């Protein structure tokens, strides 16, 4: 696909990114785009390889390789190269309901598995998809009408994150009447409040939600099912219920002094920042949350990076990021061959900005907190850190990180953001619906199924598989919708 010799003729080029010192002055998206002709050249780099792992979506060595949605990547790349963006949108939309989300926030599993990346730079599939979907919106290709025929079946979706939206769109297109319940004041779940605006502008969510409403999906906000909205109401009213509430139970750091003022969970912090910005139409920036403070982010994933970038924009005095694991290598090791996910060092936008503003990488590896130190008023004033070293557990064979005796150090901190991941679903929802959960409190299902232990109750996304990526949540929503449709109708024509 693409141009036969394109990968030899053209180097990988991406859209311009606003300089760090400029973009930290606001919360606007900062990734630009190439001209259409330049993007065609990027699509021309697709190699027509024999086995396109980019679209496989398979688990290799416990890690995903290729797109979980099974997007036919070589076909869409070829259509971009040929300049047929309308056809490219038709092709992409068969497998992917929300390219506007993943083209902004996905780590690009497709690119990590690209054959062109074995001995060079992978094809810029993510930006190709963004070109396709933005063209589609600009040219009115995304218009969506209610289905011509309704089935008479009603489905409730609890949670409006990527899994819930994906399931709702799919089932509505099939003809079922779908109502989405969201406990927050706006639709989007993790997309809305867990991801900062500079990474995903919220107008991108709004335009998609508007299309879904025009097609007949009903959205109810400020409805916390299991608390102010009764579980019995949903079970009595709907033929099926999908739980897509996410893995919203944050992992804590239980160390002495944890009750100090100034210690927050990362997503709660990011949610408050985004809500204040949205409520004021970006006129009221909540500088008071971090300005002039020494900030320490505990956790090295995407959420931790988002906290780093957010705190810099809020005027933090300093920002450090603590990671328990060793620093990854700069390149693949022999034990991590392609097409496995590359376990290599990634310096994301937040870390880039910290380097620009403070002069050094904010990450401190092989380290954890041994104590939160309070002042006389109970406010956090500093952290006691301790170094960690990897050791092999003889029983399990796993590598565990153990503290190094006598390695304690102290650093100032008036704000700590815990971004150490999530433990699974929240008990009031699973207990309210009476569904079984596994050892990680994810809703239990049979392998390959999305049906819970309770009749007509299903699950999808992080609530089902545990904390994961937006693209996995979207894929799970579609697959769950297919199973719900089959059980309601006796068959399913959902792809």
Looking at the fold, whether 412 and 427 belong to one and the same domain comes out as no
Q: 127 and 19, same structural domain? A: yes
**363, 385, 420 — which closes off a domain?**
420
Q: How far apart are CA 455 and CA 488, in angstroms?
A: 12
Q: What is the CATH number of the domain that holds 16?
A: 1.10.1060.10
In this structure, is residue 378 part of a structural domain? yes
Could you tell me the pTM of the whole model? 0.96
Give residue 1's pLDDT.
Answer: 60
Looking at the structure, tell me whether residues 102 and 66 fall in a common domain.
yes
**Average pLDDT across the chain, whole number:** 96
Claim to verify: residue 333 and residue 238 sit in the same structural domain? no
Residues 334 and 372 in one domain: yes
How many domains does the chain contain in total? 3
- Tell me, yes or no, whether 446 and 321 share the same domain: no
Q: pLDDT by residue (tens digit) across 11-32? A: 999 999 999 999 999 999 999 9
Give the residue from 373, 404, 420 where a domain finishes.
420
- Are 166 and 302 members of one domain? no
Residues 237 and 264 in one domain: no
DSSP for 316-327, written as a single string: -SEEEEE-SSPP
Residue 152 burial by Cβ neighbours in a 10 Å radius (0-12, 13-18, 19+): exposed
pLDDT band at 393 (very low <50, low <70, confident <90, very high): confident
Q: Are residues 433 and 416 both part of a single domain? A: no
| Domain membership flag for residue 145 | no
Model confidence pLDDT, tens digit, residues 276-320 = 999 999 999 999 999 999 999 999 999 999 999 999 999 999 999
- For residue 495, the model assigns a pLDDT of 82
**Is there a domain that residue 450 lies in?**
yes
Spatial contact of 365 and 349, defined as CB atoms under 8 Å apart: no
Residue span of the structural domain in which 277 resides: 252-420
Beta bridge mates, 225: 229
Q: Where do the DSSP E strands lie in 365-424?
A: 367-374, 380-392, 399-403, 409-412, 415-418, 422-424
Judgement on whether residues 387 and 256 belong to the same structural domain of the protein: yes
Tell me the mean pLDDT in the region 66-91: 97
Residues 392 and 432 in one domain: no
Distance in angstroms between the alpha carbons of the first and the last residue of the chain: 24
- Asked if residue 133 and residue 159 are part of one domain, the reply reads no
Residues in the chain: 495
Say how far apart CA 250 and CA 265 lie, in whole Å.
7
487 burial type by CB count under 10 A (0-12 exposed, 13-18 middle, 19+ buried): middle
Does residue 495 sit within a domain? Answer: no
Strand partners, 383: 372, 411
Average of per-residue pLDDT across 369-373: 98
Structure tokens given for 468: 């994961």
CB 124 within 8 Å of CB 111: yes
> Is residue 148 domain-resident?
no
- Domain containing residue 459: CATH number: 3.50.50.60
């Amino acid at each position: 696909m693409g141009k036969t010799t394109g990968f030899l003729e053209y180097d990988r080029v991406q859209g311009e990114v606003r300089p760090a010192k400029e973009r930290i002055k606001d919360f606007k998206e900062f990734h630009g785009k190439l001209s259409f002709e330049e993007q065609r050249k990027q699509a021309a780099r697709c190699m027509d390889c024999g086995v396109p792992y980019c679209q496989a979506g398979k688990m290799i060595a416990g890690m995903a390789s290729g797109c979980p949605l099974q997007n036919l990547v070589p076909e869409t790349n070829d259509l971009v190269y040929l300049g047929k963006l309308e056809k490219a949108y038709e092709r992409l939309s068969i497998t992917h309901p929300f390219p506007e989300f993943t083209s902004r926030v996905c780590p690009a599993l497709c690119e990590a598995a690209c054959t062109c990346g074995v001995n060079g730079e992978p094809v810029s599939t993510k930006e190709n998809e963004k070109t396709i979907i933005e063209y589609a919106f600009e040219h009115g290709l995304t218009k969506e009408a209610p289905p011509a025929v309704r089935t008479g079946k009603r489905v409730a979706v609890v949670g409006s994150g990527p899994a819930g939206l994906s399931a709702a769109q799919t089932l509505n297109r099939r003809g079922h009447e779908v109502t989405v319940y969201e406990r927050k004041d706006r639709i989007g779940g993790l997309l809305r409040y867990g991801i900062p605006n500079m990474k995903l502008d919220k107008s991108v969510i709004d335009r998609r939600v508007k299309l879904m409403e025009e097609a007949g999906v009903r959205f109810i906000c400020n409805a916390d099912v299991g608390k102010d909205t009764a579980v019995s109401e949903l079970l009595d009213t709907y033929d099926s219920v999908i739980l897509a509430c996410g893995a919203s139970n944050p992992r804590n750091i239980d160390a002495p002094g944890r009750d100090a003022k100034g210690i927050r969970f990362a997503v709660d912090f990011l949610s408050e920042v985004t809500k204040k910005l949205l409520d004021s139409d970006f006129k009221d920036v909540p500088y008071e949350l971090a300005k002039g403070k020494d900030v320490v982010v505990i956790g090295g994933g995407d959420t931790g990076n988002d906290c780093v970038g957010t705190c810099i924009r809020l005027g933090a005095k300093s920002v450090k990021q603590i990671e328990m694991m060793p620093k990854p290598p700069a390149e693949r090791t022999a034990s991590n061959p392609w097409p496995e996910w590359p376990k290599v060092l990634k310096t994301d936008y937040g870390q880039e900005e910290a380097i620009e503003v403070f002069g050094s990488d904010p990450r401190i590896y092989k380290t954890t907190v041994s104590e939160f130190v309070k002042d006389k008023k109970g406010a956090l004033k500093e952290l006691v850190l301790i170094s960690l070293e990897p050791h092999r557990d003889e029983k399990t064979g796993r590598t565990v990180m153990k503290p190094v005796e006598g390695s304690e150090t102290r650093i100032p901190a008036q704000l700590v953001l815990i971004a150490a991941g999530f433990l699974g679903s929240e008990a009031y929802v699973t207990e309210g619906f009476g569904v079984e959960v596994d050892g990680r409190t994810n809703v239990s299902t049979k392998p390959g199924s999305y049906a819970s232990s309770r009749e007509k109750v299903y699950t999808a996304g992080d609530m089902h598989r545990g904390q994961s990526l937006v693209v996995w949540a979207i894929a799970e929503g579609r697959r769950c919708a297919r199973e719900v449709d089959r059980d309601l109708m006796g068959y399913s024509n959902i792809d």
